[in-house]
């Protein structure tokens, strides 16, 4: 039996999946440079974190799969093929909930209840794992954007993260590694950013847990298994609608009484997205030019008064010549989702 290090380092599918993560994060870095003239996130750190968390969750997921007794077989390849075909209709159909549920129904019709249940277990377990990863890791992977709505410039936060989780299982005495890609994609233009990413994570955890729980309860009942397949698809669609729903939120618009923080650089520990800087060194701040004028006069920032996204006024004593923020401005050079820039 091969050691786990060999399975990870020399498995071609795991290597390909790792390069997909690298490609997507590098693309986000280039987009940040195009939009803001600088890298907001440390790309190497993001890639390392995503891969490390994916491996850790993959090991725990493998143990859970073994504990429940789920058998992974050639049907995994069929799910891959069906999911890829469905993705040509809509990208969201690449998720295992769709292709897996369809194949599970086929197995029910063929009276192969064991494989039908195995697939549904994997759908539940992978969404449980996905929810855990989103909860602990997704918020920091946001990408700020300038958006335009009804002639107004507003903030937007784009999430498009991928994690590869290596599932290690034993087949006829040999350890085999199946790399699975889990992802989180969303565009948030309203509400509390961190709360909404956490809510998405909890929705995924509840969805996955409910499927696993129902499988324990319904046993080998064909009718109930068929209904669970439909449940897997319908509830997944409902969760997508809930997670992606946005509404008008004035906090995402440029402030008339200060400079709103679109986002912060990695090294910034003082501000958060959607904070509004209203005073620096006892001088009122109305726009980004005021900030430039204050740094020109004083050379450093000493005291900053700002409001958080709940309009609580706060003061901050610092001694720095940089605020390390990305301001929300009315006349950005590039607006996302226009002919000039697309994600």
> For 141-150, how does the pLDDT look when each residue is reduced to its tens digit (9 = 90+)?
999 999 888 8
How many angstroms separate the Cα of 108 from the Cα of each of 76, 82, 222? 16, 17, 7
Give the list of residues 6+ apart from residue 124 with CB closer than 8 angstroms, or none.
207, 208, 209, 210, 211, 212, 215
Domain 255-327 belongs in CATH node 1.20.120? no
Closest to 54 in 3D by CA, of 124, 143, 159, 134: 134
Structure tokens at 168: 């290690």
How many angstroms separate the Cα of 238 from the Cα of each of 224, 234, 285? 20, 6, 43
Quick one: pLDDT at residue 58? 92
Give the list of residues 6+ apart from residue 212 with CB closer than 8 angstroms, or none.
68, 121, 124, 125, 128
User: Alpha-carbon distance 109 to 173, whole Å?
Assistant: 31
DSSP-assigned letters across all residues of 299-319 = SSEEEEEEE-TT--EEEEEEE
pLDDT class for 1, splitting at 50, 70, 90?
Answer: very low
Which run of H or E residues covers position 66?
helix 43-68
The predicted model gives 27-46 an average pLDDT of: 87
> For residue 136, what is the DSSP state?
I
Backbone phi and psi for residue 330, each to the nearest 5 degrees, phi listed first: -80, -20
Question: CATH 2.30.42 in the chain, residues?
Answer: 255-327
> For residue 266, what is the DSSP state?
T
Quick one: pLDDT at residue 337? 59
Give the list of residues 6+ apart from residue 215 with CB closer than 8 angstroms, or none.
117, 120, 121, 124, 228
Quick one: pLDDT at residue 340? 46
pLDDT digits (tens, 9 = 90+) for 265-308: 876 678 899 999 999 988 899 888 998 888 888 887 778 999 98
CB 159 within 8 Å of CB 186 = yes
Quick one: pLDDT at residue 334? 73
Flag whether pLDDT at 2 surpasses 50. no
Flag whether pLDDT at 176 surpasses 60. yes
Q: Which range has the worst mean pLDDT, 70-74, 154-158, 219-223?
A: 70-74
Flag whether pLDDT at 91 surpasses 50. yes
Flag whether pLDDT at 121 surpasses 90. yes
């Amino acid at each position: 039996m091969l050691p786990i290090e060999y399975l990870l380092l020399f498995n071609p599918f795991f290597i390909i999946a790792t390069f997909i993560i690298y490609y997507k994060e590098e693309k986000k870095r280039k987009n940040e440079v195009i939009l803001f003239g600088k890298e907001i996130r440390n790309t190497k750190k993001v890639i390392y974190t995503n891969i490390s968390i994916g491996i850790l969750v993959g090991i725990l997921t493998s143990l859970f799969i073994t504990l429940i007794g789920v058998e992974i077989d050639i049907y995994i390849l069929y799910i891959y093929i069906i999911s890829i075909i469905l993705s040509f209709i809509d990208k969201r159909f690449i998720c295992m909930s769709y292709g897996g549920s369809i194949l599970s129904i086929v197995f029910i019709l063929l009276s192969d209840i064991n494989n039908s249940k195995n697939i549904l277990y994997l759908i539940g377990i992978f969404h449980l794992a996905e929810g855990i990863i989103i909860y602990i890791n997704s918020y920091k992977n946001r990408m700020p954007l300038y958006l335009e709505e009804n002639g107004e410039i507003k903030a937007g936060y784009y999430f498009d993260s991928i994690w590869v989780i290596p599932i290690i299982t034993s087949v006829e005495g040999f350890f085999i590694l199946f790399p699975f890609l889990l992802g989180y994609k969303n565009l948030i233009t309203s509400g509390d950013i961190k709360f909404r990413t956490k809510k998405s994570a909890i929705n995924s955890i509840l969805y996955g847990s409910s499927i696993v729980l129902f499988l324990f309860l319904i046993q080998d009942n064909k009718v109930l298994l068929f209904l669970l397949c439909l449940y897997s698809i319908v509830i997944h669609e409902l969760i997508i609608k809930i997670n992606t729903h946005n509404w008008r939120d004035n906090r995402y618009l440029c402030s008339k009484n200060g400079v709103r923080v679109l986002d912060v650089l990695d090294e910034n520990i003082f501000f958060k997205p959607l904070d509004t800087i209203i005073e620096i060194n006892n001088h009122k701040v109305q726009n980004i030019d005021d900030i430039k004028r204050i740094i020109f006069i004083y050379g450093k920032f000493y005291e900053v008064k700002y409001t958080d996204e709940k309009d609580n006024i706060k003061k901050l004593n610092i001694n720095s010549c940089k605020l390390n923020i990305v301001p929300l401005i009315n006349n950005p050079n590039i607006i996302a989702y226009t002919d000039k820039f697309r994600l």
